[in-house]
Amino acid sequence: MAFGGILWMLILYMTIFIHSLLFARGVYYHFTRTHIPPGITHGRKLSFLSFALGYLLELGVFLEKLGICHRYVICRAAYDAMPTKKDLNLIRKDLVFDGVPVRVYWPKTPAAGNRRGIIYLHGGAGLLGSIRACENVCCSIVHESDSVVVNVGWVISCFFFRFRLAPEHPYPVPVLDSLTAAIYFLKNAEEYGVDPNCIAIAGESSGGTFAAAICQELVTREGLPRLRAQVLINPFLQPGDFDLPSYQQNQSVPPLFRKQIIKFGLTYLTGKTMNVDGILKAAHVPPDLREKCRKWISADNIPEEFKARGYVPVEPAPFSKELYEQVKRGTETMFCPLVAEDDIIRQLPETFILTCEYDVLRDDGLLYKKRLEDHGVPVTWYHVQDGFHGIMAMAGWRILEFPSTQKCLQSVIQFLKDL
């Protein structure tokens, strides 16, 4: 056999061997460290999806250790490969808003006047995600609420729209890009057939974080139309206490684990992979800041029914100034919207918050709901009893949908229609 043929055979065998090892590791990790609560409908489907995502992340870690690419490239490629469906009943255009790529959707049917506008921000912890992943959600909103939707992409890379993501572009680049796109749309809404006084901003997961942060920032800006509403779907809103009831109860529930959200958050914040143990034990929070935020970030503010599956108060570890110096920007409200001052909170627009029972981020949404209501902000809350993180993102993917997927989406659409 020629040398070239032998080399290709070796490469093939090595590839099979590596994938076999990663597969075996993935199986072991999945069945020893994940927990599918009986309250989740179609738990086996969630188990399979979690395994697939975990496998891609493990493959990414392996490639990073070889120096080929960083660990999130593989998952990004999977998002980019998601097919998009042509919809003959709407107009779709890829545009650039003040340097930020976006995809805008219009209904083809003529409108009697200007429509409402929706700015939609996808999730992915500032590391992953794609406008392709939430395309079905955006199209459904366009059709069913007769709105113009702006799906914020970010950097055009080869053939795809993509976030300016961490670790290449850590915080605050992604949220500032989102803010730039939102301001441009508010200023130029009528050019897109939108009533500038009827624009809502919506986001899922980290997109919900960005949406909340942008709402807070915009109340301080003069000369712009006010946002009509904010829609926060399973948002991450605080990095100060990872021992709230939902973090304890759902720490091993896929697809988002407690340690994983801290790893993602640290990489987004710093651009580096860090040890999560100190953050998990709240050693990064100065005593004075902890005392100040206790009235906002506390299990005492979580209704008792959400502690029924178990909750044990945990004392934080001793404060580490060194750790705090590494992550102190995480106390800024663009990263941690829950700790905004009262005079900002009371100016926020009507709000929709979606939480899921089996989501580690559930209590972030509950705490923000209380803060808003305490300051007179109208809140519509939709809680998904059998839901988990990312359940709404499955909308339109048929076999990947769960029984509550469409219920989540319809609750969002109904809120938007009523604005």
Of 88-97, 175-184, 317-326, 382-391, which gets the smallest average pLDDT? 88-97
Mean pLDDT of 57-73: 77
pLDDT for position 158: 42
Rounded CA gap, 348 and 226, in Å? 9
Which pLDDT band, with edges at 50, 70 and 90, does 5 fall under? Answer: low
DSSP letters spanning 393-414: GGTT-GGG--TTHHHHHHHHHH
359 part of the active site: yes
Helices 43-65 + 3-33 axis angle, to 10:
130
* Residue of 177, 241, 243, 359 with catalytic role: 359
DSSP state of 392: G
pLDDT for position 76: 74
pLDDT digits (tens, 9 = 90+) for 132-161: 888 999 999 999 999 999 999 754 444 444
pLDDT for position 407: 97
pLDDT for position 356: 98
Rounded CA gap, 216 and 21, in Å? 47
Residue 6 has pLDDT above 70, yes or no: no
* Residue of 50, 177, 389, 411 with catalytic role: 389
Evaluate the CA torsion angle 21, 26, 32, 33 in order and state its sign: positive
Break the chain down into helix, strand, coil percent, rounded to 5.
45, 15, 35
pLDDT for position 155: 43
Residue 20 has pLDDT above 80, yes or no: no
Rounded CA gap, 59 and 155, in Å? 24
pLDDT for position 220: 93
pLDDT digits (tens, 9 = 90+) for 257-308: 999 999 999 999 999 989 999 999 999 999 999 999 999 999 999 999 999 9
* Residue of 130, 140, 205, 206 with catalytic role: 205
How many CA atoms are closer than 13 Å to the CA of 351, on its beta-carbon side? 30
Which pLDDT band, with edges at 50, 70 and 90, does 51 fall under? Answer: confident
Of 170-174, 184-188, 215-219, 379-383, which gets the smallest average pLDDT? 170-174
Alpha helical stretches, state H, 34-115: 43-65, 73-80
Mean pLDDT of 70-90: 76
284 part of the active site: no
Residue 162 has pLDDT above 80, yes or no: no
pLDDT for position 159: 43
Q: What is the dihedral of CA 270, 272, 275, 280, to 10 degrees?
A: 30
Residue 32 has pLDDT above 80, yes or no: no
Indicate the average pLDDT of the chain. Answer: 89
DSSP letters spanning 166-204: TTTS-TTHHHHHHHHHHHHHHHHGGGGTEEEEEEEEEEE
Residue 252 has pLDDT above 70, yes or no: yes
pLDDT for position 118: 98
Residue 375 has pLDDT above 70, yes or no: yes
pLDDT for position 126: 81
State CA 292 to chain mean position distance.
27
Q: Which helix (H) or strand (E) holds 90?
A: strand 90-97
* Structure-model confidence comparison of residues 61 and 134, the more confident one: 134
